[in-house]
Amino acid sequence: MAFTQSNRQLQVKTPLGPDELLILKMEAREELGRLYEFTVDLLSDNESISADDLLGKKMTVEMDMVNTTKRYFDGYVSRFTQIGHMAFFAHYRATLRPWFWLLTQTSDCRIFQNKTVPDIVKEVFGENGFSDFEERLSGSYREWEYCVQYRETDFNFVSRLLEQEGIYYFFKHEAGKHTLVLCDDYGSHRVLEAYSEIPYLPPTEAGSSRFRDYIHSWRFSKSVRPGKYVHTDYDFKKPKSDLLRNALQSRSHSYAEYEIYDYPGEYEVPSDGEGYAKHRIQELQAGHEVLEGKGNARGVTTGGLFTMTEHPRGDQNREYLITGASYSLHADAFESVAEIAQGPLYVCEFSCMDSKEIFRTARTTPKPMVQGPQTAVVVGPAGEEIYTDEYGRVKLHFHWDRYDSRDENSSCWVRVAQVWAGKNWGAMHIPRIGQEVIVDFLEGDPDRPIVTGRVYNADQMPPYGLPANMTQSGIKSRSTKGGSGDNFNEIRFEDKKGSEELYIHAEKNHTNITENSRNENVGYNRSLTVGHDKTETVNNDKTITVAKNHTETVGLNMSETVGVDRTETVGSNKSETVAINSTETVGAIKALTIGGLYQVSVGGAMNETVAGAKAEEVGGVKLETVAGDRKASVGGDRGESVGGDLTEEVDGKKECTIKGKYSIDTQDEFKLEAATKIVMKTGAASISMEPSGKIEVSGTDVTFKTAAGKVHIDPGGIITIKGTMVKINT
């Protein structure tokens, strides 16, 4: 015998077609900000219905209303069970859930950047193929610079974001369709159609109102809730900024001033902190007053507004927002199964709150925590080797991110821990593109990554071949951009016993600045090679002590300038060899003191020029040997004082030209001796003496004169006197 649902107050529409399944009853529960669940008991004379024909497909329950309209309960079949038999029917049970529930069946790891929560939610909905949602939001929502879905279902991800922003939702149902409505305040809700007012009738009167929808049970309660919410956060860009924010909700009961304090608030802008604090206190206070009703008002639905009337307590007759409801629906008995017990067509139990209060869904969806550090790869724009900002932050590609393009858009800027960080001082090593880094997360929050270290991998091997060079440690950089393995700066330690070494390599320039003293102690040899010029400036004294030999070789020129005095002490011998010329200029006085022998040997000519006076004093013997010519030119006077003997020996000629007077004054014997001849001449007068003894005095006028003494002429031979006239005076 075929059964039909036609003309029944309760019907079900399924993908199997009309009357393949008959509704027996439905138990339903829905709440603001939560998924609904409808459990529908069904009958069929077909014992072989396949669950696959229904799972994931729409099913709609229709109920007749008092005003000849219909109310719908729509959903996707999430579970289908064959329970057994009821009379000669096969008994089935279907669980209906909203399309939003399907997002519990998919999870992901991905990053959203610079988007508001409503934008993120709509994107997730769209990616899952759902557009049956409606925005009734009046608030403005901040852009999240960085928001991560991490190892969580799309449903949990969206739910926790909505809860954090104070956004909630309910579902409105139509024939074959249900729509998710996003809400954030009173204006998001509508008055129940045809049920703007619902009367309260006590149980004693309820039975007489058979054709009237009403509320017959009503109870209300209040509870102590915190009256203040305080939270704060930290913004490293403004480290001294006070981000402490709070929100109050005054109540008249005792202990209403207690506060909830939390950290971190997940905000950097103070106005965002104020908004979140307000949402949190509204969330806590949403359960301060709870009102619960029961009745047969078929228009009661979660998210709707109604005004209760006729309650004997006047303060209860006001407008309410329905925050949750449970429905129990029973179909009329089929004639052939009259033995099946039936309940009333419709019974509703609901909870509500004063519509003047603001509803916020409790934050019950947990935010995933990253259970320990991860590694990631540093990324940046194509063609770059280093990509950073003024804080030394970098961009990362996480191994779990399958959507990013591995470039500068892959993540937010991520801070990098350094071994030392001070105010314009500390250490700085910026991870470079392609390097693998260790990433931790502040408080385990995937939205708050921080680079804490670096690691090598098969593509980024250590600078020293291992394990062969396991005794080496150090720091080796790479020139950028375009540097190869031959372009680097390095500080390396070799700790192999017997081969210990500190190696420092500067790829180009090496600057060493010591503000005060610098001590350098080399236990053995030190070698310094400068490929080009070397400049050394000492602003005060310089002392060099060489315990043994000191060799200094200059390949070309050497200039030495001493601003004031110079003292040079040689403990033993000093040898100075100049291959070509040597020039010495002394601006003022030069004193040369030699304790022993002083010898100057000049291979060629020697010129000595003294602009002023020259004094030469020899304490002992002075020997001067000139192999060739020797000339002395004195611009002024020349004085020579010899404390002992003065011996002068000339192998060749000696000529002395004096333009002024020439005087010889001796306090002892004066001896003038020549091997061949002595000639003294002035003008026409001359005296000539020869070794043979011949003396010739010649002149135009020769006078022998003595003041008072005698003149003796005692020749050994003849005396000859000739003249035109000879006078002898007696």
Residue pLDDT, tens place only, 174-207: 999 999 999 999 999 999 999 999 999 987 765 5
Gap between the Cα atoms of 330 and 343, Å rounded: 6
Listed in sequence order, the DSSP H helices in 533-621 are none
Name the least confident of 259-268, 377-386, 577-586, 663-672. 577-586
Q: CA separation (Å) from 553 to 79, 190, 548, 560?
A: 97, 100, 17, 14
Name the least confident of 105-114, 365-374, 581-590. 581-590
pLDDT at residue number 212: 76
CB 44 within 8 A of CB 61: no
Mean pLDDT of 510-527: 90
pLDDT at residue number 697: 86
pLDDT at residue number 618: 65
Q: Is the pLDDT of residue 306 over 90?
A: yes
Q: Is the model more confident about 351 or about 540?
A: 351
Mean pLDDT of 515-543: 87
Gap between the Cα atoms of 568 and 470, Å rounded: 51
pLDDT bin (cut points 50, 70, 90) of residue 561 is confident
Domains assigned to the chain: 10-99 (2.30.110.50), 101-222+288-354 (3.55.50.10), 228-285 (4.10.220.110), 369-478 (2.40.50.230)
Amino acid at 14: T
CB-facing half-sphere around the CA of 317: CA atoms within 13 A: 10
Amino acid at 91: H
Helix and strand counts by DSSP (H, E) for the chain: 4, 32
pLDDT at residue number 667: 79
- Contacts (Cβ under 8 Å, ≥6 apart) of 89: 22, 43, 44, 45, 337
CB 287 within 8 A of CB 223: yes
What are the tens digits of pLDDT across the range 569-603? 877 777 777 777 777 777 777 777 777 666 777 67
pLDDT bin (cut points 50, 70, 90) of residue 157 is very high
Mean pLDDT of 372-400: 96
Q: Is the pLDDT of residue 293 over 90?
A: yes
CB 51 within 8 A of CB 41: no
Gap between the Cα atoms of 442 and 439, Å rounded: 10
Structure tokens given for 188: 């998001």
Going across the sheet that includes 259-262, the strands are 245-248, 228-231, 259-262
What are the tens digits of pLDDT across the range 214-263? 999 999 999 999 999 999 999 999 999 999 999 999 998 999 999 999 99
Mean pLDDT of 51-78: 94
pLDDT at residue number 360: 97
- Contacts (Cβ under 8 Å, ≥6 apart) of 32: 168, 169, 170, 183, 302, 303, 323, 324, 359, 361
Q: How many CB atoms lie within 10 A of CB 164?
A: 17
pLDDT bin (cut points 50, 70, 90) of residue 425 is very high
Q: Is the pLDDT of residue 628 over 70?
A: no
Instruction: Quote the Cα angle for 725-729-730, to 5°.
Output: 150
pLDDT at residue number 337: 54
Q: Is the pLDDT of residue 173 over 50?
A: yes
Q: Is the pLDDT of residue 629 over 70?
A: no
pLDDT at residue number 74: 98
pLDDT at residue number 335: 55
The residue written with tokens 């502040």 in the block is 442
Mean pLDDT of 434-439: 97
Question: To the nearest whole percent, how much of the chain has pLDDT over 90?
Answer: 65
Name the least confident of 360-364, 421-425, 520-524. 520-524
CB-facing half-sphere around the CA of 145: CA atoms within 13 A: 11
pLDDT at residue number 663: 77
One DSSP character per residue, 206-231 reads HTT-TTS--EEEEEEEE----SEEEE
Q: Is the model more confident about 1 or about 30?
A: 30
What are the tens digits of pLDDT across the range 307-324? 999 999 999 999 999 999
Name the least confident of 51-65, 83-97, 427-441, 572-586. 572-586
pLDDT at residue number 545: 85
Gap between the Cα atoms of 11 and 20, Å rounded: 12
Name the least confident of 147-161, 199-213, 472-486, 550-564. 199-213
pLDDT at residue number 586: 72
pLDDT at residue number 208: 55
Q: Is the model more confident about 613 or about 151?
A: 151
Exposure class string for 312-324: b at 16+ Cβ within 10 A, else e: eeeebeebbbbbb
Name the least confident of 413-417, 649-653, 695-699. 649-653
Q: Rounded to the nearest 10 degrees, how much is the dihedral formed by the CA atoms of 81, 86, 90, 95?
A: -30
Gap between the Cα atoms of 277 and 244, Å rounded: 10
Q: CA separation (Å) from 62 to 4, 73, 176, 270, 645?
A: 14, 7, 10, 50, 149
pLDDT at residue number 1: 44
Q: Is the model more confident about 632 or about 100?
A: 100
Structure tokens given for 267: 């905000």
Mean pLDDT of 56-76: 93
Q: Is the model more confident about 652 or about 513?
A: 513
pLDDT at residue number 614: 64
Q: Is the pLDDT of residue 336 over 70?
A: no
Global confidence as pTM: 0.76
Closest to 60 measured CA to CA, from 181, 180, 175? 175
Q: Is the pLDDT of residue 334 over 60?
A: yes
Mean pLDDT in the chain? 89
Q: Which residues pair with 349 in a beta bridge?
A: 294, 326
Q: Is the model more confident about 523 or about 566?
A: 523
Q: Which residues pair with 528 in a beta bridge?
A: none
Mean pLDDT of 535-557: 84
Q: Is the pLDDT of residue 451 over 80?
A: yes
